């Protein structure tokens, strides 16, 4: 008895398996933002990150840094608490965009939670709770890792 192979059927099965694999991979990517705050860029697939050269300055919630906006509320409505770490970025980076900035927050993930009048293009402002810490940061040109959604 000789078996006949139905190659059309096999092709359909192979295609279904491939689509399932792609769906599972995409599912993982969609929910990648549910990572723990201790996640570093090294523990995530490299293709999900883009490195952007940026001028990084610092600010605090005082009237010297924020002027009339020194009310303790960021541009996206986040109420600032002691110990918060986040950045102010250009509008091209949506609120919630995750970044890793060498030397800030122990080089762990931070989110874009604020805007700034002079934060345009490849500029960031990292947040500190005190004016002295912001001044101590100074101005740095850094390679910033930006998570691609």
CA distance readout (Å), 75 to 5, 18, 62, 100: 64, 43, 15, 20
Would the pLDDT of 17 be above 80? no
Would the pLDDT of 61 be above 70? yes
CA atoms of 31 and 66, how far apart (whole Å): 34
* Residue 136 structure tokens: 């101590």
Q: What is the mean pLDDT of residues 58-70?
A: 95
How confident is the prediction for the chain on average, in pLDDT?
79
Q: What is the pLDDT of residue 44?
A: 55
CB 88 within 8 A of CB 119: yes
CA atoms of 120 and 126, how far apart (whole Å): 14
Share of the chain above pLDDT 90, in %: 66
CB 56 within 8 A of CB 126: yes
Would the pLDDT of 35 be above 80? no
Q: What CATH topology corresponds to 41-147? A: Barwin-like endoglucanases (2.40.40)
Q: What is the pLDDT of residue 124?
A: 97
């Amino acid at each position: 008895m000789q078996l006949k192979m139905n190659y059309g059927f096999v092709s359909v099965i192979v295609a279904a398996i491939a689509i399932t694999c792609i769906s599972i991979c995409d599912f993982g990517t969609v929910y990648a933002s549910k990572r723990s705050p201790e996640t570093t860029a090294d523990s995530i697939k490299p293709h999900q990150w883009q490195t952007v050269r940026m001028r990084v300055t610092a600010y605090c919630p005082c009237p010297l840094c924020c002027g009339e906006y020194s009310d303790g509320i960021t541009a996206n409505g986040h109420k600032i608490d002691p110990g918060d770490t986040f950045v102010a970025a250009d509008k091209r980076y949506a609120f919630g965009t995750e970044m890793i900035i060498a030397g800030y927050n122990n080089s762990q993930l931070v989110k874009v939670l604020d805007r700034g009048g002079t934060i345009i293009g490849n500029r960031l402002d990292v947040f500190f709770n005190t004016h002295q810490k912001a001044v101590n940061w100074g101005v740095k040109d850094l390679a910033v890792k930006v998570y691609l959604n």
